[in-house]
Amino acid sequence: MTSISILPDAIFLRNISLIFGAMIGVYLIYRNRYIFSIKNSSSLIALCFLFAWILAHYFFFAEDPKAQFQELSSVWKRVFLSFIFAIGLGLSIPMASKNNKALVVLGFAATTIIFYLRYCIDFFGFNSLPNYLAINYFIPDGRGYIPKYHFTVFIMPFIGLIYCFLFSNNFSKFRYKSIISSMAIFSLFGTFYIFYIIENKNGVLDFLIISFSFLVLIFIDSSKKLKLSFYVVIIGTAVAITPLIYLHVKSQPTLFTLLVDTKAALDFEHNNHWKYVGKQGYPLNEYGTTVGVSTYERVAWAVKGVEVIIQNPLGYGLVSNSFGYLAKRSWPDSTLNHTHSGWVDLGLAFGVPGLLLILFPLFMTIRSCIYKNSLYAKAGVWVLASITLVFMTSEAAERILLDYLIFLIAFFSAVSINAD
């Protein structure tokens, strides 16, 4: 359900899945009600307080009651259904059959699979197919266009899941190690190639960070005896993606001016171009060339976004573009919308209380999953770390993407509760 949410014309399927999933979730929550305690359910309790805070914000602190009500009746209704659905699904994982567990893994991989199915349709020119299959997701401003960062949000958790399988002690117990190793290489290359082909710098960066973290952790864990299959995966993946990394860096000249562009972005005394989203041009860096637009804007917006949160600790109340509304108070002529940093945007939307009520369950769930023996609980560490990273560098505080964040936190929280 979550993996197809970014696709056009999938609203009906998504909503039906949410409703039935939430209904089953209510049943499973009731059936397993005795395993819940305040100690093991702190993450879920915090998320319940998040929903209460959103309602309280609407009734007592609403800046734009009409717009907030529209989000309550659409965005937050969907987020709440995702929350219930995720708890039920997470509780059922330990008791599920191998085939059903494989379906969950397939769900994480679905965005990658759908991308390549659609990519093949476009590559081979199957224009006679029905419109919902033939529509092009890759043409900007087209009806079916999917923004780059949407792919990052839905693909990075799958990458985290792959690395979990490789890192886990359970990897040594799998029967078909060569097949699993081949699938890991193929999947890692496939996900990285998506970021490369759509020219998603943040996706490439997030992939490299999580990959480097994996290598560091695997080598400092002296309790592991590294298998030949592990070396095959690492060497094979490195050989496969190194040419793409080289071509990507070569095609992105702004990477070589990253530091000086960041310095220009932080020079607020002389540069205020960031207020107007390109309508008044861009400044020069110390090399005398125009700054890299992405670096300049994202750094400036993130810093100023944090300042606006400090000035407005209760937030504006809207998932979409709260930064733009709050920025008008300090800079009436500004044309801002969001900061391109998901965590900053969530703080601007729901204030410090709302942001804490998301971050607390996120990190508590990661902490809980670390101490569980279940492979799926361990997966929560990698998947949630991946989505945390994505929300730092991408404009991920949007309607469909917020659903997925809450879904993942609730899902792995429930998995950790019933893991043992």
The reply to whether 281 falls in a domain is no
> Domain boundary at 209, 234, 251, which?
251
Q: Spell 240-250 as b/e; 16+ CB within 10 A means b.
A: bbeebeeebee
pLDDT at 420: 62
* Parent domain of 397: 1-95+312-420
Residues 56 and 114 in one domain: no
Instruction: Provide the pLDDT for residue 321.
Output: 85
Whole-number Å distance between alpha carbons of 408 and 420 = 19
Distance (Å, whole) CA 207 – CA 200: 11
Q: What is the reported pLDDT for 186?
A: 85
> Is residue 71 assigned to a domain?
yes
Among 229, 251, 273, the domain boundary falls at 251
Q: Each residue of 274-286: pLDDT tens digit? A: 888 878 788 888 8
Question: Looking at the structure, do residues 4 and 30 belong to the same domain, yes or no?
Answer: yes
| Same-domain check for residues 47 and 83 | yes
**pLDDT greater than 70 at residue 348:** yes
The pLDDT, as a whole number, for residue 23 is 92
Half-sphere exposure of 17 (CA within 13 A, CB side): 15
Q: Are residues 89 and 119 in the same domain?
A: no
Structural contact between residues 392 and 343, judged by C-beta atoms closer than 8 angstroms: yes
On whether residue 235 sits in a domain, the answer given is: yes
Whether 38 is in a domain gets the answer yes
Mind listing the pLDDT tens digit for each residue in 293-309? 888 889 999 999 999 99
Instruction: State the pLDDT at residue 352.
Output: 95
| 366 vs 142, residue with greater confidence | 366
* 197 and 164 housed in the same domain: yes
Structure confidence at residue 170 (pLDDT): 47
- Report the alpha-carbon distance of residue 358 to residue 47 in Å, rounded: 7
Per the domain annotation, does 300 fall within a domain?
no
Q: Is the pLDDT reported for residue 171 higher than 60?
A: no
Q: What's residue 135's pLDDT?
A: 57
Output the pLDDT for position 306. Answer: 94
359 compared with 187, residue with greater pLDDT = 359
- Residue of higher predicted confidence among 234 and 91: 91
- Which of 144-153, 207-216, 277-286, 334-343 comes out lowest in average pLDDT? 144-153
Asked if residue 245 and residue 127 are part of one domain, the reply reads: yes
Q: Is residue 302 part of a domain?
A: no
Residues 116 and 196 in one domain: yes
The residue-averaged pLDDT of 157-165 equals: 89
Q: What is the pLDDT of residue 13?
A: 72
The most confident of 38-47, 328-337, 354-363, by mean pLDDT: 354-363
Residue 286 forms part of a structural domain: no
Specify whether 117 is located in the same domain as 91: no
As for how many domains the chain has, the answer is 2
Binned at pLDDT 50, 70 and 90, residue 178 comes out as low
Mean pLDDT score, 142-164 = 82
- Residues 207 and 337 grouped into a single domain: no
Last residue of a domain, one of 223, 251, 279: 251
Residue 77 and residue 131 in one domain = no
Give the per-residue pLDDT at 74: 87
pLDDT band at 88 (very low <50, low <70, confident <90, very high): very high
- What mean pLDDT do residues 383-409 have? 87
**What average pLDDT is seen over the chain?**
83
pLDDT at 96: 76
Instruction: Tell me, rounded to whole angstroms, the distance of Cα 391 from its chain centroid.
Output: 6
Own/partner contacts of 223-228, CB < 8 Å, gap of 24 or more, are 224/169, 225/172, 227/171, 227/172, 227/177
Check whether residue 84 and residue 162 sit in a common domain: no
Lowest mean pLDDT among 13-17, 197-201, 229-233: 229-233
Q: Is the residue at 100 inside a domain?
A: no
319 and 355 fall within a common domain: yes
pLDDT above 80 (res 145)? no
